[in-house]
Structure 1
């Protein structure tokens, strides 16, 4: 998830656990605690772009990290600004919940989370939520700001419970909407005899109503879009070849090996101005619901590694304009 979401939700959880005893400091401690796993961004200053892709959401987003760091943070907090009346067990639960919440939220989107690092390099991704969803974040943001000024303990707790409850409710909606779309995709592929060996379904930007669908076969991918409000019995798929043969001239590149691992095998290769481009399909297309043959958000220039800074972010909202935004709203309404 985005940093703002972790900060404001962390602040609300801090208020719930230690707000009565720590006052407004609970908001700051909660925001910092839940943001802690993202300390791995520091590694990007010393790593190549592809190494950084694999390192991010790795060991600091693992269950082992939570297991080791939680008692250390609790020990430090217990000795900070004594005397206080917060028990050590409360500190343990507070930090454990904050860190586990961060890992859970990150596991909901396409990037994936290395929950079992360093014992397994597998990334766990539910593909149930876009990395930034305003409707999810707006409620804990409003509540976190309100808590800075609110004095009544009863109101503070009631607002905090509402914010956290909203987050649980919204995540349940994400899972429910994905189930609707997944069921529709299985019906459509069976009805139209579309064969595939793997697939994934993930939300389009900033919502959980329009979903991006990728079906993999031996030579490439069927890519389409499905709204939870669609009633038609088919999906308009565009087909993209994998084009593995284009990789022969660069098959020994170290960056390529990293990209294979990072993309989990969902990739295509294409040429752009005589430069080979590696596309990771998991992050979607640039306004693909509007232009079915659109290029992909994540694209790595294999022969120009110096052009690959911010590789995950640079295409996320490229080609967005009024027409593309209105087309998304229209497509969400269903066909």
Structure 2
């Protein structure tokens, strides 16, 4: 998810806590905890660790720092930082940090970019693709809750945010159910498939690879694009020169569910068909072979 959404997750989980019996310093500690937990996994972008000597954000970002095995370590680190600053030992601090880290990595796994959810045990990228990277429905739920909180002063604030979170889980559950049904249908027809969620709830883009072709079409439970877009993939190309000259290409193949292999316009390369920017592939690794 985007940084704004992760921040909203932190603020609203903090808001969902009944803090009536908490002192001012504890409230500050809890707010810091919620925000730190909601952002901590993305600290990998600061580290800028490299793949084969070159920065490869797709494999590093959302990698080890987004693992479920690292989540309790994040929570413990945040707990220690809070203790050093506020001298608080409230167990709620650890639990709030842990929950926010899990929400962060879980929501990231649900969109098309995926995460290294089980690193270092497995390098597999968990890419479910049932919610968009920016989910305006989630934003809308939180905005509505904020307005209600301001207008209905008699309703406890924590109750407003708890109801908002229930609605968020219902929305995510509905998206996941629809997406998985659509994905299972595609898997029964094609060799390789993956899914990306549209900004419009209940609508998805299905990408399938069959032989030397990648097919792309939009689908919901009640409608399906008649004719898919077809992209040829030159699967018989020898990619050894590409891997030798551009190690990022091999990393991209490892990271992506599948790629399109192309040899045209003097370029031998691979790209992930899920992502486009300005009409061209966003993740495209190639070498110039025009000479």
Instruction: State the TM-score, normalizing by the size of structure 1.
Output: 0.72
Q: Any stretches of 5+ residues in structure 1 without a counterpart? A: 190-195, 288-294, 305-335
C-alpha separation in 1, matches of 2:184 and 2:248: 37
Q: 1:301 to 1:257 in 2, by over 3 A?
A: closer
* Higher alpha-carbon deviation: 132-141 or 114-123: 132-141
Q: In structure 1, which of residues 34, 41, 48 is the aligned counterpart of residue 38 of structure 2? A: 34
C-alpha separation in 2, matches of 1:151 and 1:73: 34
SS of the aligned residue for 1:281 comes to coil
Q: Deviations over 1:72-114 (max 9, x none)?
A: 32233245324x6xx5321221111011111110010111111
Q: In structure 2, which of residues 243, 251, 259 is the aligned counterpart of residue 258 of structure 1? A: 251
Mapped pair 1:77 → 2:93: no
C-alpha separation in 2, matches of 1:251 and 1:303: 9
Q: Deviations over 1:193-233 (max 9, x none)?
A: xxx222122213x2233211122223232222213331x6x
Q: Where in structure 2 are the equivalents of 1:94-133 lying within 5 Å?
A: 94-133=96-135
C-alpha separation in 1, matches of 2:59 and 2:79: 29
Q: 1:174 to 1:49 in 2, by over 3 A?
A: farther
Mapped pair 1:3 → 2:3: yes
Q: In structure 2, which of residues 281, 287, 290 is the aligned counterpart of residue 303 of structure 1? A: 287
Q: Deviations over 1:147-194 (max 9, x none)?
A: 7x799695211211122112101101211221443365468x4xxxxx
Is the Cα contact below 8 Å between 1:13 and 1:30 reproduced in 2?
A: yes
Q: Deviations over 1:8-65 (max 9, x none)?
A: 1111112223644244664454223211111111133877775222110011111222
Mapped pair 1:200 → 2:191: no
Instruction: State the TM-score, normalizing by the size of structure 2.
Output: 0.82
Q: 1:9 to 1:141 in 2, by over 3 A?
A: farther
C-alpha separation in 1, matches of 2:35 and 2:73: 20
Q: Deviations over 1:89-140 (max 9, x none)?
A: 2122111101111111001011111122122211112211111111122322
C-alpha separation in 1, matches of 2:57 and 2:113: 13
SS of the aligned residue for 1:80 comes to helix
Cα RMSD, aligned residues only:
3.2
C-alpha separation in 1, matches of 2:282 and 2:9: 28
* Higher alpha-carbon deviation: 159-168 or 138-147: 138-147
C-alpha separation in 1, matches of 2:18 and 2:270: 47
